[in-house]
Amino acid sequence: MSLSHRDTKGTRILESKIQSKAFQELSQAAETLVNPEIKRWREQGGKVLGYFCSAMPEELITAAGLLPFRMRATGSTGTDLSDTYFSSINCSFPRHCFNIALQGGFDSFEGVVCINSCDNIRRIYDNWKRQLPTTLVHIMSLPRKTGKPQVEWFRDEVANLKLLLEKHLNMKIPDERLWDAIALHNETRRLQRKLYDFRKLDNPPITGTEALAVIVAGTAMPKERYNQLLTELLDELGKSAGNTDYRARLLLMGGILDDPAYVKVIEDQGGLVVTDSLCFGSRLFWNDINERASDPITALAQYYVADRPSCPRMFGDYERRIGLVREMIRDFKVDGVIVERLAFCDHWGFEQFTIENDFQDDNIPCLIMDREYILSGAGQLRTRVQAFLETMGR
Amino acid sequence: MVDKGLERTIAERDHFEFLLKFLEESPSETSHLLIPLVRANLEHYKDTVRCIEEGKPVIASYFSNAPEIFTAMDIHWYCPVAAAFAGAGANPYLMNDLEGTDKLAVSSDICTLLRMAMYYTEAGLLPRPTAIVGMIIPCDGIVALHEASRRSKQWRDIPMFAPDPPYFTDERSIDYFAQELRRMVDFLTEHTGQKLDIGRLREVVEVTNEQYKLWQEINELRRAVPCPFNWGVGGGPFALTQNRWVGDSRGLEWFEAALADSEKRVKAGKGWLENERIRLLWFDVHPTWFFDLAPWLEEEWGAVIVMDMFSYCPYTLVDTLNEETMFHDLAKRNLMDTTMVRQAVGVADNFASDIVRIVKDYKIDCVVWPAHMGHKDGAASVGIMREVCRDLGVPFLSIGIDTFDPRYTTPDEVKNRMSQFFTAMGLG
């Protein structure tokens, strides 16, 4: 199974019916770590700041004049180096990521900011500090709950990060710049929601594979450029006849999934992924940051702790989380749900259990899948999806 | 007919009743320390049964939730995961429960204890509490367990509150956690009708302060060579400060007796073992099958577990000046001291500095990280532990066990691994 081919320069290109240059650029960004837009940014003297977790207020990074890059390990082939620091019972995402870091893959980054997202990721911070010469390595404490006290706590965390960036870069980040960054990122969210609106159609002009590539690209290039490319893509999609050759419409749920090839395996069986609840997906953009809040730091804290769709890492928010998924099932005319989980993820392990029970009660077809960060069990995935579609009578 | 949720509790009560009688009739060198612990457990189970039968409030809660507050509010509580330690740790239901847990559609790479807790809930094996005070610290698994428990068909109508733990341990974090504890009190009042009397809280805390002071003294005596105590002592202080007889003067008497015992041994130059050859730091909690492993370590290798995660805490004393100081210091104690929480929450410097300090203070010959399959943060810290130990010049062993399931790595396999390690390092 191959999702992509390589061009004359050896760069992987996503196979797609969408032929526009905009889509090619976006998909290339998803299939590489250092894409042409990042190269251009750096050639112009720009700096890149890596961050883990979709709860990172990346608007602050933009406002500091840095390019926020959501950490991933695209292209990783092994964990030989990081296995000294992690164990085989750790999730493969941080192991691959840290392996690339030890290989020097992120050496050009100005810094890396972690969140205590999970037990695996939070230790990347500790190992990074000890093993790598990166000058700016920081961790933020994200609350486990989503109430007002938690928003206030995280407000201080965001303010602390702002101070840290200001000190590191020897600059001030005025509120106006933060508001501008919030507006810019909200524009990205609005465009991404438009993209998903197309997926509600009976003949969606974009597949789940392609959509994932587009969303991943948004975490790896300057937002102005991304918005421009996405606008071009949306124009093209509006003129497309769309896809009708599918057996079922699926919703994909889970944690970190940044590899369109995984979705392609599903879609190759006839299951068109029409929407998702992923942290490289709808959870990034389902609603906006309040641009009329009293101050930008509070607006960021409110959004990242309480307003945006949560993942199982947050306690006490299951009903809102699953409520949103149920709305999506209705609005996107979803026939079945696939809940994928990176092996050894405790958050999604219990969440799968709860979702399966709840969906069983509601007669919503549901397939529970475990996977590794690097696509390795394509055969098994193919068989499971085939069987799943058959059980749905598709 | 006995309520299903009480069956196990009643069996536990009866087990401890039998055990108490047996110990009273067969005195040994350690009876004076064992009997109070058994009595504390017996009372606990009796109280649980009584409260359920009489319709009095019972809450399901966990350690690290400032249990002094429960005592001061006169609310009985039990810990759901304690069911895994049934039969005073010998757990006669273990294999059946593990099979039941395996059938649950929860991934088997998640901590077995937490999966078992889900099984107990789903199978209706726990007394039905009035309210739940959850614990969302120190690992992802326990957060996820509580979120799943909220949706469990058995428990979804039971109100739950969980104090939110910040990741750091600075003053801002302590103040934040103190506010969470205050919100916990409001929650308890709302759902049990019980109120917090600050004078009573002071009385309770004054007792636990004394307990913590004595615990510190006991631990300091464990520095002696040979070590006056063995592995079994760690569970006692943990049980009596966080789970049973919290703020009860009888708990204090146990600490006094344990300290007197240590002092006597140290003064006589007597160790727990006649021929102590290896001083070991077991850097985790005790497996449920430790009864098999630890005596073997002593007999076969002369290895004494001088320190472990159950035992090591920095003994924050609570300033009882006023309500504010008490909440502040209870927050600090429960955020920074308690078993596993201290080691697993926050940045790796926390546990790394503990290893350094314990190795130096307790003259440790080797550090064993058992590597419980559920401790993902620890698994992601193994390189740091290894480097810390290398810098200290102390051998380090990471095994890979399941603290609650002896099928994962059998006790015999663990013994082999440890024997090879001791031999290779020239220990013992």
Kindly write down the DSSP assignment for every residue of A276-292, as one continuous string: EE-TTTGGGTSS---TT
Q: Give the residue-averaged pLDDT of B310-336.
A: 92
CB contact under 8 A, B147 and A122: no
From CA A23, how far away is CA A41, in angstroms rounded?
19
Give CA–CA dist B410/B428, Å, rounded: 23
Residue of A nearest to B160 (CA): A316
- According to the model, what pLDDT value does residue B234 have? 65
Task: Give the closest residue to B342 by CA, choosing from B370, B309, B364.
Answer: B309
Interface test with A, best of B102, B107, B157 (most A CBs within 10 A): B107
H or E, element range at B102: helix B94-103
Taking the C-alpha atoms of residue B110 and residue A313, their distance in angstroms, rounded to an integer, is: 15
Q: Is residue A14 pLDDT above 60, yes or no?
A: no
* Interface size, chain A vs chain B, as Cβ–Cβ contacts under 8 Å: 155
The residues near B96 (Cβ < 8 Å, ≥ 6 apart) are none
pLDDT value of residue A7: 55
- Of A79-83, A145-149, A306-310, B269-273, the poorest mean pLDDT is in B269-273
- Is there a contact between A85 and B104 if contact means CB atoms under 8 Å apart? no
Interface of B with A in 212-231 (CB under 8 A): none
What letter represents residue A309's amino acid? Answer: P
| DSSP label of B82 | G
> Which alpha helices (H) appear in A44-82, and where do they start and end?
58-63
A17: confidence class by pLDDT, cuts 50, 70, 90: confident
> In this complex, do A141 and B166 lie within 8 Å of one another by their Cβ atoms?
yes
pLDDT band at B229, cuts 50/70/90? confident
Cα A260 to Cα B322: distance, rounded to the nearest angstrom: 58
- What would the two tokens of residue A313 be? 């890492």
Mutate to test the interface with A, among B101, B137, B140 (most CBs of A within 10 A): B140
Asked if residue A193 has pLDDT above 90, the reply is yes
CB contact, 8 Å: B157 with chain A? no
- Selected residue of A144, A146, A155, A320 to mutate for chain B interface (largest B Cβ count, 10 A): A144
Secondary structure element (H or E) that encloses residue A6, with its range: strand A4-6
> Among B143, B181, B399, which would you mutate to test the A interface (most chain A Cβ atoms within 10 Å of its Cβ)?
B143
Model confidence at B403, pLDDT cuts 50, 70, 90, reads: very high
A153 → closest Cβ in B162, B166, B376 = B166
Tell me which chain B residues have a C-beta less than 8 angstroms from the C-beta of A354.
147-148, 151
CB contact under 8 A, B377 and A316: no
**Segment holding B161, helix H or strand E:** strand B160-161
Segment A238-244 mean pLDDT = 92
**Closest Cα in chain A, distance from residue B312 (Å):** 22
Q: What is the pLDDT of residue A2?
A: 40
Neighbours of B304 (CB within 10 A): 26
Q: What is the pLDDT of residue A118?
A: 97
Under an 8 A CB cutoff, do B147 and A316 touch?
yes
Work out the average pLDDT over B196-224. 95
Q: What is the distance of C-alpha B124 from the center of its chain? A: 24
- Separation CA B229–CA B206 (nearest Å): 26
Give backbone dihedrals phi and psi of A184, rounded to 5 degrees, phi first. Answer: -65, -45
Show Cβ contacts of residue B122 under 8 Å, excluding neighbours closer than 6 positions. Answer: B104, B152, B153, B154
- B228 to chain A, minimum CA–CA distance in Å? 35
3-class DSSP assignment, residue B133: strand
Whether residue B147 and residue A89 make contact (CB cut-off 8 A), yes or no, is no
- In sequence order, which ranges of chain A are alpha helices (DSSP H)? 21-31, 36-43, 58-63, 92-102, 121-131, 148-169, 175-198, 208-217, 223-238, 260-268, 296-301, 318-331, 346-361, 378-391
Q: How many CA atoms lie within 13 Å of A115's alpha carbon, on the beta-carbon side?
A: 21
**Rounded to a whole number, what is the distance in Å from the CA of B382 to chain A's nearest CA?**
6
With an 8 Å Cβ cutoff, is A143 touching chain B?
yes
- Per cent of chain B over pLDDT 90 is 83
pLDDT of amino acid B1: 54
**How far, rounded to the nearest angstrom, does the alpha carbon of residue A207 sit from its chain's CA centroid?**
17
Res B209 pLDDT > 60: yes
Q: pLDDT-derived band of residue B339, with 50, 70 and 90 as boundaries?
A: confident
Residue of A nearest to B110 (CA): A346
Consecutive H or E run containing B112: helix B112-122
Q: Identify the closest residue of chain B to A318 by CA–CA distance.
A: B147
Angle between helices B171-192 and B323-336 (to 10 degrees): 110
Min Cα–Cα distance to chain A from B94, Å: 22
Q: Which tens digits make up the pLDDT trace of B96-126?
A: 999 999 999 999 999 999 999 999 999 999 9
* Residue A11 scores a pLDDT above 80: no
Residue B24 has pLDDT above 90, yes or no: yes
Q: Between these two residues, B244 and A191, which has the higher pLDDT value?
A: A191
Predicted local confidence at residue A8, as pLDDT: 60
pLDDT of B31 strictly over 60: yes
Average pLDDT over residues A81-105: 97
pTM for the predicted model, two decimal places? 0.95
Which residues from chain B sit within 8 angstroms of residue A137, using beta carbons? none
Return the closest-CA partner of residue A245 out of A211, A198, A203: A203
Give CA–CA dist A135/A241, Å, rounded.
50
- B408 contact residues in A (CB cutoff 8 A): none
pLDDT of residue A3: 47
Q: Do B376 and A346 touch (CB under 8 A)?
A: yes
Q: Provide φ and ψ at A95, rounded to 5°.
A: -70, -45
Q: pLDDT averaged over chain A? A: 95
**pLDDT of the residue at A10:** 55
Tell me the pLDDT tens digit for each residue of A340-382.
999 999 999 999 999 999 999 999 999 999 999 999 889 999 9
More confident residue, B409 or B233: B409
In order of start, what are the domains of chain B with their CATH numbers?
4-10+48-192 (3.40.50.11890)
A-proximal residues of B, 85-144, CB under 8 Å: 104-107, 109-111, 114, 118, 134, 136, 139-141, 143-144
CB contact under 8 A, B148 and A353: yes
- Please, which residues bridge with residue A341 across strands? A370
- The pair of three-digit structure tokens given for residue A77, joined into one six-digit string: 């082939």
Put simply, the answer to whether B380 touches A156 (Cβ < 8 Å) is: no
- Which candidate, B40, B38, B62, B37, places its Cα nearest to that of B338? B62
Q: Of all residues in chain A, what percent carry a pLDDT higher than 70?
A: 96
Asked if this assembly's ipTM is beyond 0.85, the reply is: yes
Which residue is closest to A94 within chain B, CA to CA? Answer: B380
CB contact under 8 A, B143 and A347: yes
Q: Would you call A169 helix, strand, or coil by DSSP?
A: helix
How far is Cα B17 from Cα B2, in angstroms, rounded to an integer? 19
Residues of chain B contacting A153 with CB distance shorter than 8 Å:
166, 176
Tell me the Ramachandran region of residue B253: left when phi exceeds 0, alpha when psi lies from -120 to 50, beta otherwise: alpha
**Structural domains in chain A plus CATH codes:** 44-173+246-394 (3.40.50.11900)
Please name which of B198, B144, B163 lies closest in space to residue B65, comparing C-alpha atoms. B163
Task: Confirm if A273 and A207 have CB atoms less than 8 A apart.
Answer: yes
By C-alpha distance, the chain B residue nearest A138 is B347
Say how far apart CA A117 and CA A121 lie, in whole Å: 6
Q: Which residues of A touch B387 (CB under 8 A)?
A: 130
Question: How far is Cα A259 from Cα B221, in angstroms, rounded to an integer?
Answer: 56
Distance CA B242, CA A122 (A): 27
Task: Write out residues 308-347 of A within 8 Å (CB-CB) of B.
Answer: 312-313, 315-316, 318, 341, 343-347
Interface test with B, best of A315, A348, A362, A370 (most B CBs within 10 A): A315
Residue type at position A386? Q
A-chain residues within 8 Å CB-CB of B179? 149
Contact status, residue B338 vs residue B63, Cβ threshold 8 Å: yes
B163 touching A (Cβ < 8 Å): no
Tell me the per-residue pLDDT of A28-81, one tens digit each, with 9 for 90 and over.
999 999 999 999 999 999 999 999 999 999 999 999 999 999 999 999 999 999
Taking an 8 Å cut-off on Cβ atoms, the answer to whether B382 and A351 are in contact is: no
Nearest to B356 by CA among B380, B382, B391, B383: B391
Q: Tokens 């390690």 appear where?
A: B421
Instruction: Collect all residues of chain B within an 8 Å Cβ-Cβ radius of residue A306.
Output: none
Interface of A with B in 73-132 (CB under 8 A): 84-87, 89-91, 94, 116, 118-120, 122-127, 130
